[in-house]
Amino acid sequence: MPTLHYTPAAARVLARLEKGRHADARRLRRVRRALERLAVDPRHPGLCSHRYSCLPGYEHTTTWTSYVDQGAGAWRLHWTWGPTDTTPTAHAQSEPDNTVVVTVLRVGPHL
């Protein structure tokens, strides 16, 4: 089971969905369900995970995208295997050598 780490940008989006004037309980529930699936199995069929060619800001990183929902206004999770340089907390934590890390780079509308 992978351990999830979040970039500051992804954490901000989750916090905005939880409270404030941009709070959206329905979307938050869907995002959390997708994150739970990602934490259990990044290849879960409901996520429809696939490589993403060029995520802005992460051009030299192999990134993946997974579905949060479909249709008009669809949201996606963008992630990568392992910690990235943009997540200093991922390096600071002592992880066992056999732990798989997934870093959530972005949570938001389909690009």
Q: Domain-by-domain residue ranges, the chain? A: 3-84+98-109
Our measurement of the distance from residue 82's CA atom to the centroid of its chain's CA atoms, rounded to an integer in Å, reads 12
pLDDT score for 97: 58
Q: Enter the pTM of the model.
A: 0.84
Residue 21: phi and psi, rounded to 5, are -75, -15
Rounded CA gap, 65 and 105, in Å?
10
Q: For the chain, how many helices (H) and strands (E)?
A: 3, 5
pLDDT score for 11: 96
pLDDT score for 96: 53
Digitized pLDDT (tens) for each residue of the chain, 111 residues in all:
889 999 999 999 999 999 988 899 999 999 999 999 999 999 999 999 999 988 999 988 899 999 999 988 899 999 999 876 544 444 444 455 568 899 999 999 987
- Radius of gyration of the chain from Cα atoms? 14
48 backbone φψ class: left, alpha, beta (φ>0; ψ -120 to 50): left
Q: Among 3.90.420.10, 3.40.50.720, 2.40.10.10, 3.30.2310.20, name the CATH number for the domain at 3-84+98-109.
A: 3.30.2310.20
CB neighbours of 34 closer than 8 A, spacing ≥ 6?
47, 66, 67, 68, 77
